[in-house]
Amino acid sequence: MKAYFLNLYRGFRSIIKGMILTLIVAFRPKATIQYPFVKRELPARTRGRLFCNIDDCIGCKLCAVACPVDCIYITANKRGPEEAIPLTSAESGAKQKKFHLPQFDIDFTLCCWCGLCTVVCPTNCLYMTKEYEFSVGNQQDLIWQFGEGQKPGPKQSIK
Amino acid sequence: MDNKTIYEKLKQKFQDAIGALKEPPAGSHGDPFIEVSAEKIHSILKFLKEEPELLFDNLLCISGVDYPDRLEVVYHFHSYTHLHKVVLKALLTDKTKPEIDTVSDLWKGANWLEREIYDLFGITFKNHPDLRRILLPDDWEGYPLRKDYKHQDYWHGIKVGM
Amino acid sequence: MGALKTQELTINMGPQHPSTHGVLRIELVTDGEICVKAIPHIGYLHRCFEKHAENIDYMGVMPFVDRMDYVASMNNDIAYAMAVEKLLGVEIPKRAEYIRVIMAELNRIASHLLAVGTYGLDIGTFTPFMWAFRDREKILDIFEMASGARLLYNYLWIGGVWMDLTPGIEEKIKEFCDYFSPCIDELDTILSYNQIFINRTKNVGVIPLETAISYGLTGPNLRGSGKKWDLRKNEPYGIYPELEFDIPIGTGEMGTVGACWDRYMVRIREMRESLKLTKQALKQMPEGPIRAKMQRVRPLAGEAYVKIENPRGELGFYIVSDGSIKPYRVKGKSPCFTSISCLDEICQGAMIADVVAVIGSLDIVLGEVDR
C-alpha cells in the first residue's frame, strides 16, 4: 500500500520535472530549418553527384577499376598514328590524351558515393559536386553521360 | 597460456585427433591455428571449455571457409578467466556431404553461428536442435559462399541477379 | 458450464513493425498476454556482404563495411582496417590513430543517442527521441565536415585515414563536447530517472551473466549484466592505453542486475566516457602524416581475426588472404547477430509489450544482423 502511493508520488514528480524541463527547452533557439525553402550551407568536402570534365580525361580507366560497384562505363578508342595528341589543361598536369572517349557514362542508380574513383584520378577531372537532390521521374534519367561531344546530363533513354 | 602450451595439452589428451600447430609463414602477420579432426570436434571443444586450466568460456566466432579441396570450420575462442585465445580448424574433405558435430549444447551462441554456416556453406551440423536456413529463404537452392556457386535464375518468378 | 478450451495463439510481429528497428520478423507464440516463445526470423536485409567482399579488392570492401552497421560506420571501418593492417603488418601514424579514436568515440555517442532515443520511443515517450536526434545531427555535421558524407563515411582507410582534419573542425568538436555534457543530464531528467520509464524497464528482460556469456553477448548488453569487460581497456588497441576512462556496468540500481534499465543506463554512462575520451584525444593529438606509406594493399597469404569494441559490442573480422589483391574470405562477426539470438530465451514468460522493451534494450541494427 505504501509502495503504491510512493510510486504514484514519484510518477507525478517525474512528470512535473519533465514538463518544467520541456518548457525551458521550448524557449531555446530552433534546431530545425524549413528545408526546401532554406538550405544548409554544405562543407567543402561534400560528396554529392559525380562530375567528369571530359576535356581533362586521359581515358586511363582507373576510376572504373576502383569503383566497388562498377557504375562507370568508359569506351576509349586509341587515336590514329597521324592524329595529333592534344594535352589536358595545365592545372591538371598537361598530360597526353591518347584516346578518343566517345562514352563516359555513370550510372547513379548504382553509385554508392564512396569517393574512391575521385581519389585515383590522375588529372583530377572526376570530382564530386555539392549537388544532392537527385529525384527524377524516370530511372533512365539517372544514367548520365559525360563523353566527348556530349552535353553532360541524363543520357537519352533508348526506346 | 600461449598457443604452444594449449597445443601440447590438447595433443597429450587427444593424440591423433590433433593435427599440426600451424604458425603463419615467415613475413606474414596472421594468427597461428591448430588443426583438429572433425570427427572428434565435440569432445575436443568440451575439453577446451571444461578443463580448469583452459576454460574457454567465450566463443568468439565460428566461420566456414571453402578451399578447392576441402571445407574448413574455424573456431575462435577466448577465455574470460585466463584471458587467452586459441584458433581451431576442423577440416572437412568430403565436399559433397560435409558433416560435423554441433557445439550448440556447450555454447548457446553457437546455435545461430552454425545455422549461418549451414545456410551459406551447406555443412550439416549433427544433433543441432534447429538446423534451418537463417539468412536466405527456406527454399533457396545452393550454398552461396561456396566458390563454385551459381545462383538460380528465378526464385518464385522473381529474376535473381542483375 | 465446463472449462473453456484455451490454446496458444501465434502472432506475427514485423517485418514492418516500428519497434523492431528495421526489418525483423518475430513469431510470437502467446498464451493470453504472456509470450511463450519468440522466434526471430532474420535475413530481410541480407545484402551478401561476404560474397561481395570476395570479388572486390581490399580497398573497395570499405564502402560495404560502412553499410553493415550503418549508424556506427566509423567503428566498423576501424575493425576492417585493423584486420587488414594486421595481415599487412603496417604501423599507422600516431596522428591517424588519434583521428580514428576521435571519430570512433563521436560515432559511439551518435549511435548511443539513436539507441537511447528510439528506446524512449518504443516505451512511449516522444520528446527524448527528438532531443537525441537534435544532438546526433551536430555530430553528423562534424563528420560531414571531415569526410563529406553524413552516414556512410568511408573515411578511415587501410593504413590511416583518407584526409586530414579540416581546419576549424577541432573547435567545432570542442564546442560540441561543451554543449553536449548538459544534454546528457537533461536526458537523465526526462527519461532515465522518470518513474514511468523505470517501471516499464526494471526487472524486465533480465539476462543473467552466465546466459550472457554463453550466448556470447558483448558490449553494453554484457556490461549491463554486470561484467566489467571492454576491449578498449582489457585488450587495448590503437591509442586507448594512453587515455583515461572508466567502464560503466550495470549495478542493479533499479531492480535486478541485467534488466533493460541497466543496459539502457550503461549506454547513457558510456556517452559521458566517450566525451572524456574525445576531449583527451583532441588535446593530445600530434601533428604528422595521416597515412602509412605503403604500396598497393596486397597482404601475404595468411589469416587474421581482429575484434574491436563497437557501440553494440565486439565486432570481429576474420580475413583469409591468399596473396592476391582480393580477400579470399571475409567474415564479419557482428555483435547484433549474437544479441538477437538470445531473444527467445529472455522473452519467455514476458508480456507482449515487454518484448518491445527487450528488443529496444538489446539495441540491434538489422543491417549488421543480416549483413
Q: What is the ipTM of this complex?
A: 0.89
Which residue range(s) make up the domain with A27?
1-31
The band of C1, judged by pLDDT with boundaries at 50, 70 and 90, is: low
Cβ within 8 Å, pair C152-A114: yes
Q: How far apart are CA B65 and CA C330, in angstroms?
A: 9
pLDDT in tens, B113-151: 888 889 888 888 888 888 888 888 888 888 888 888 888
Q: Which chains touch A (3 or more CB pairs under 8 A)?
A: C
Judged by a CB distance cut-off of 8 A, whether residue A26 touches chain C is: no
CB C52 within 8 A of CB C33: no
| Chain C positions with Cβ closer than 8 Å to B | 42-43, 46, 48, 50-51, 86-89, 211, 213-217, 227, 229, 234, 299-305, 307, 314, 316, 318, 320-321, 328-329, 331, 333, 337-338, 341-342, 345, 370-371
- Return the pLDDT at A157: 55
CATH of residue A106's domain is 3.30.70.3270
Q: Residue B26: pLDDT above 80?
A: no
**What residues of A are in contact with residue C145 (Cβ under 8 Å)?**
43, 45
Beta strands in chain A (DSSP E): 50-52, 72-78, 99-107, 126-128, 143-145, 153-154
Judged by a CB distance cut-off of 8 A, whether residue C148 touches chain A is: yes
Q: Residue A23: pLDDT above 80?
A: yes
Nearest CB to A68; choose among C56, C149, C186: C56
Cβ within 8 Å, pair B33-C303: yes
Q: Which chains touch C (3 or more CB pairs under 8 A)?
A: A, B
**What residues of C are in contact with residue A31 (Cβ under 8 Å)?**
134, 137
Same domain, A80 and A132: yes
**What residues of C are in contact with residue B83 (Cβ under 8 Å)?**
234
- Grid look-up 522466434 returns C39
C-alpha cell at B41: 570436434
Amino acid, single-letter form, for residue A30: K
Q: Averaged over C26-50, what is the pLDDT?
A: 87
Judged by a CB distance cut-off of 8 A, whether residue C42 touches chain A is: no
- For residue A18, the distance in angstroms to the closest alpha carbon of chain C comes to 5
Judged by a CB distance cut-off of 8 A, whether residue B132 touches chain C is: no
Report if residue A123 sits inside a domain.
yes
Nearest CA in chain C to B33: C303
pLDDT in tens, A82-126: 877 777 777 777 777 778 888 888 888 888 888 888 888 888 888
Cβ within 8 Å, pair C194-A68: no
- Return the pLDDT at C22: 78
**Rounded to the nearest 5°, which phi and psi values hold at A18?**
-60, -40
- The CATH code of domain B3-135 reads 3.30.460.80
pLDDT in tens, C119-170: 888 888 888 888 889 899 989 989 988 888 888 888 888 888 888 888 888 8
Handedness of CA A119, A124, A125, A129 (dihedral sign): positive
CB C250 within 8 A of CB C262: yes
Nearest CB to C186; choose among A15, A21, A47: A21
Give the residue from B28, B81, B116 with the most C CB atoms within 10 Å of its CB, the best one to mutate. B28
CB C43 within 8 A of CB B135: yes
Closest CA to C113 of C76, C138, C85: C138
Long-range CB contact pairs, C248-253, < 8 A, 24+: C248/C223, C248/C273, C249/C223, C249/C224, C250/C223, C250/C224, C250/C225, C250/C226, C251/C226, C252/C226
Judged by a CB distance cut-off of 8 A, whether residue C64 touches chain A is: yes
**What residues of C are in contact with residue A67 (Cβ under 8 Å)?**
60
Computed over every residue of chain C, the mean pLDDT equals: 87
Interface of B with C in 69-88 (CB under 8 A): 74, 76, 80, 83, 87
**What residues of A are in contact with residue C133 (Cβ under 8 Å)?**
none
pLDDT in tens, A40-63: 888 888 888 888 888 888 888 888
Give the residue from B45, B58, B121 with the most C CB atoms within 10 Å of its CB, the best one to mutate. B58
**What residues of A are in contact with residue C195 (Cβ under 8 Å)?**
7, 10-11, 13-14
Report if residue A58 sits inside a domain.
yes
Nearest CA in chain B to C340: B112
Cβ within 8 Å, pair C195-A42: no
In chain C, what are the domain boundaries? 57-311+323-328
> What are the distances in angstroms from CA C265 to CA C4, C127, C208, C210, C268?
44, 18, 17, 20, 5
The band of A159, judged by pLDDT with boundaries at 50, 70 and 90, is: very low
Same domain, A81 and A147: yes
Give the residue from C194, C197, C198 with the most A CB atoms within 10 Å of its CB, the best one to mutate. C194
pLDDT in tens, B64-115: 888 888 888 899 888 888 888 888 888 888 888 888 888 888 888 888 888 8
Compare C111 and A152 and report the one with higher pLDDT.
C111
Cβ within 8 Å, pair C199-A7: yes
Report if residue A40 sits inside a domain.
no
DSSP letter for A96, please.
B
The total number of structural domains that make up chain A: 2
Judged by a CB distance cut-off of 8 A, whether residue B109 touches chain C is: yes
Instruction: Confirm whether pTM is higher than 0.95.
Output: no
Percent residues over pLDDT 90 in chain B:
0
- The CATH code of domain C57-311+323-328 reads 1.10.645.10
Judged by a CB distance cut-off of 8 A, whether residue C124 touches chain A is: no
Task: Map B89-120 to HEC letters.
Answer: EEEECCCCCCEEECCCCCCCCHHHHHHHHHHH
Judged by a CB distance cut-off of 8 A, whether residue A7 touches chain C is: yes
CB A112 within 8 A of CB A157: no
Nearest CB to C305; choose among B27, B31, B144: B31
- For residue A24, the distance in angstroms to the closest alpha carbon of chain C comes to 11
> What are the distances in angstroms from CA A130 to CA A53, A108, C173, C189?
15, 15, 23, 40
DSSP letter for C188, please.
I
Instruction: Let me know if B89 is exposed, middle or buried by CB neighbors in 10 A (0-12, 13-18, 19+).
Output: middle
Cβ within 8 Å, pair A113-C59: no
- For residue C185, the distance in angstroms to the closest alpha carbon of chain A comes to 11
Helix axes C73-88, C94-123, angle to 10 degrees: 140
Q: How far apart are CA A93 and CA A90, in angstroms?
A: 5
Same domain, A71 and A115: yes
Cβ within 8 Å, pair B74-C318: yes
CB C137 within 8 A of CB A31: yes
Nearest CA in chain C to B103: C214
CB C358 within 8 A of CB C263: no
Q: Residue C46: pLDDT above 50?
A: yes
C-alpha cell at C315: 565486432
Q: Averaged over C280-299, what is the pLDDT?
A: 83
